[in-house]
A and B are shown apart, each in its own frame.
Chain A
Amino acid sequence: MVFSSLIFLLFFLTALYVCYFIVPRRWRWLRNCVLLVFSLFFYRCGGADYLPLLLASILINYFGGLLAASERPALRKLGLWGAAALGLGLLGWFKYAGFAAENLAALGLPVEVPQIVLPIGISFFTFQGLSYVIDVYRGDARCQKNPLYVALYVALFPQLVAGPIVRYTTVEEEIVQRNESLEEFSQGVVRFLFGLGKKMLLANAMGEIADGVFAQSPETMALSLAWIGAAAYTFQIYFDFSAYSDMAIGLGRMFGFHFLENFNYPYISKSIAEFWRRWHISLASWFRDYVYIPLGGSRCSVGRNVRNMAVVWLLTGLWHGAAWTYVAWGGMMLVLLAGEKYCWGRGLSRLPGPVQHLYTIVLVVFSMVMFRSSGIGYGLSYFRSMVGLGGRPDGQAVYYLLEYWPEWIACVLASLPVKVWAQRSLERREGPLPALTLEWGPKIAALGLLGLSYTKLATGSFNPFIYFQF
């Protein structure tokens, strides 16, 4: 079940509202139980066969946390490494066993490739649960003795299957005590509807273009079409994933949770390093705090620092998927980030702002091509087309521009902090009209987006979420 579906909106959410808000606020434990039951049901809708896996992950992290909080160092270590081994072991089996076996078989070893279906959201809830155990081990978070609360933290439906990766410390207090209010609810609704609109109106339209272009052979692809396809996918992945984060944050808000932001207009970055401070913030900070810094971070020799970065980007690539294209994409990011840090970063910062923006967005678009490609060979051929070594123009680029012109314009505008600019501009003005616009504008716009999104839901069938595959 995805957020942008009728079954979620009209049935799951309505039933949850009734069951949740009918319980008096003072019976917090019961409200939490309602949330947990609905969260487990939400996950079950993606396939009942995978529910035991989620329950196992909850148990692993619950007991891991208990042990990690022990006063005996040996038990603490057992809790940490045990939870890490079991959690990552499950992730490794379900996500990487097939990939590993394929590669061993390709090397000529007598290995049978297992047919394993990737359970929805396993990368997200594994990392989320692991962060809890590590934080408890480090003393950054208190151990939660109530299994219900650990279960709710790991399985809370808004962020369960596609993030953001919420740290336990972010919601620790709110699980036990939070304040649901009309203001919070309405803000959550607005945020959710903006996310729904982004997904239904922008991400899906860009997805249609990207799917159409990437289904073609890159050898004969014209330069213009290659760029249209790459730009469309760059928009799609941003609006798809940030939309899901918006919806997750909005849903959390409705029930009194405050998740941290996951995106901050990444396409206005002036460098790749800045891009990664604005893109999938929860994942980048997870790797920073739990892998990069423990390895030594940047307070070490250049060689060691590059090694640390290499480990992080190899893992980041593999986290996104068990394929060599993701490893190559991680490798590209490593080269760019290390290059900015040790080679051209200083020179880049002296260039005019528009050049820095251009540098960043062009490289991001190139990297997204590898991310989207079905294989490294396909990605390299696509790069050739992007530099004009492909085929001749055949009008397709013009078609995709004319057919989706409203969406292209909206994508460009929505990638920029137009909302922030408008807000600031209105706040500077005095009088009742700017104040009314500030108050009512987003809400009216959100309702408009709801209408348009429902129209798309009722009339279209193109609705896959990209980040579910991770």
Chain B
Amino acid sequence: MKPKKTRRASDLFISFCFLAFLFVGMAATLLRNSEEYSFFENRMLAAMPKYTPEGDGNGSYVNQLETYLSDHAALRTTLLRLKTKADLALRRPVVNDVVVGDGILLPYLPAEQTDEADIAEQAVFMADNLKGISDLVSSCGGHYFYVHVPCQYACYPDRYPWFLNNREQISQLSVDCLTRELAARGVNFVDVSIDYWAEGRPEKFGSIGDDHYSMYGAFFAYQRVLEQVVERTGLDIPILRDEDVNIQPLANPYLGSRERKLLGLIDLEEPLYVLHPWEWVPFTRIDGGEESRSSVYALPYNPWDQLTYNLYMGGDLTESFIDTHRPELPSVLIYGDSFTNAMECVLYLSFDKMYSLDMRHYEGMSLTDYIQMVKPDVVLCVRDTYTLLDPSDNGGVADAGDESF
């Protein structure tokens, strides 16, 4: 081909490809079925912004439109998968905020300075807050326990590469400060991580692909918490022992939250476990005011269906109530983030009634009002290491200023 012809051909080629990309991209974006939720990112996608003269005036409307388009771009999920695959192939230590370790996926924790004074101050604030809730529970005739369970990074601090933050110092400092402050105020505190360490940090308690503990870890936490409750309150609560239950893995593939962030491109082949008591306890269950199936597991229909941590209690529900119709036993209210879910799958077996709240989503009434309404014998607040000193949502700070305290 002569140089002039070659040039013309290449000019035509690039111009055609570029224009085709723009026009096809526009058409594909306009004609695409609009999705509201991104499963792999576990978040709602941006909604089409509403036009407002103010937004038009300051330019925010166009910015929101760009966010919307980015979230709804043609081939987005495919491209996300390709990008993740490429990042893994390039052996970046952190991909999609997941630390890709040897046989484990951990959360990326940005570098931070350990500010001892700040942590101590947070612990004081948190302890004051919890003291208020504890007093309220006592005034209603119950017993309050604040429970710390280790999240994934606290279970495996030594699995981080040396150059990445594992928050070990901050975690330890947070627990120490809170332990001291709660003890000074007489608030019951159960630090399950101490027992984890005493057991030699068994790998089976945590998860290599998810932030939460495994069913083994949840069962262990349940036992330690109830032992403390019984010891400090004298309540007659039956505690299930290892020989009372059967913990079995499900055959379905499990997609942990870290694997999910990597779009399932790394499969750690970690199973999800279910716990069943040898002695069956019938119960009725009400979720958000409506009666639902009498089960604590959202079991899949097919053996090939992918599982997530939502298996336990069906995920983060705003309000659940389980009644085992055994009035001789005490009642319990458990609230907290998603770490409560797996524990609830065994906790109900030890109580007459189990109330469960997730204050991140529950809007029915304040925690104060709820406690005064149901007057539970035991109130458990379960927080993981990351949220231990976080007063928002399940930390109950909204109630801290309540006059009833």
Contacts and interface: CB of A to CB of B under 8 A. Distances in A.
Interface of A: 1, 5-7, 9-11, 13-14, 17, 45-49, 117, 120, 182-183, 185-186, 189-190, 193, 212, 216-217, 220, 394-396, 398-399, 402-406, 435-436, 439-440, 443, 446-447, 450, 454-461
B6 A436 contact: yes
Given A6-B69, A117-B58, A455 B79 contact: yes
A459 B69 CA distance: 11
Contacts of A459: 76, 79-80, 83
B108 to A, nearest CB: 9
B73 A6 contact: yes
Interface stretch (B15-23, B174-182, B341-349, B387-395): B15-23
Contacts of B76: 458-459
A457 B13 CA distance: 24
B271 to A, nearest CB: 30
Contacts of A6: 25, 29, 66, 69-70, 73
Contact of A403 (B25, B57, B67, B93): B93
A185 B18 CA distance: 11
Nearest to A457: B70
B305 interface: no
A455 B84 CA distance: 11
A40 to B, nearest CB: 14
B56 interface: yes
Interface string B1-22: 0010011101111110111011
B25 A17 contact: no
Interface string B38-75: 00000000000000000011110010011101100111
A435 B90 CA distance: 33
B163 interface: yes
A14 B23 contact: yes
B200 interface: no
Contacts of B90: 405-406
A10 B69 contact: yes
Interface size class of B (residues with CB under 8 A): 35 or more
Contacts of B69: 5-7, 10
Contacts of B113: 216-217, 220
Given A46-B59, A212-B110, A439-B6, A10 B26 contact: yes
Given A7-B69, A186-B14, A458-B75, A402 B93 contact: yes
A213 to B, nearest CB: 9
B17 A447 contact: yes
A469 B66 CA distance: 19
B92 interface: yes
Contacts of A454: 21, 25, 73, 79
Nearest to A219: B113
A14 B14 contact: no
Contacts of A446: 14
A443 B62 contact: no
18 contacts: A1-B66, A7-B65, A7-B69, A10-B25, A10-B69, A14-B23, A14-B26, A193-B18, A396-B163, A399-B164, A402-B163, A440-B6, A440-B10, A447-B14, A447-B17, A447-B18, A456-B83, A459-B83
B82 interface: yes
A443 B12 CA distance: 11
Contacts of B25: 6, 9-10, 454
Given A13-B22, A395-B162, A182 B15 contact: yes
Contact of A9 (B3, B22, B82): B22
A408 to B, nearest CB: 12
Given A48-B59, A186-B11, A436-B6, 14 more contacts: A6-B29, A6-B66, A6-B73, A10-B69, A13-B22, A45-B62, A189-B15, A190-B14, A399-B93, A404-B92, A455-B82, A457-B73, A459-B79, A459-B80
Contacts of B29: 6, 10
B75 A395 contact: no
B94 interface: yes
Interface in B149-168: 162-164
A14 B12 CA distance: 17
B62 A1 contact: yes
List the 3 shortest-distance A-B pairs measured between CB atoms, nearest first. Answer: A395-B163, A47-B59, A458-B73
Contacts of A9: 22, 25
Given A6-B73, A10-B25, A436-B6, A182 B111 contact: no
Most buried by A among B15, B25, B76, B162: B15
Most buried by B among A13, A190, A403: A403
A398 B163 contact: yes
A182 B15 CA distance: 8
Most buried by A among B11, B18, B93: B18
B7 A395 contact: no
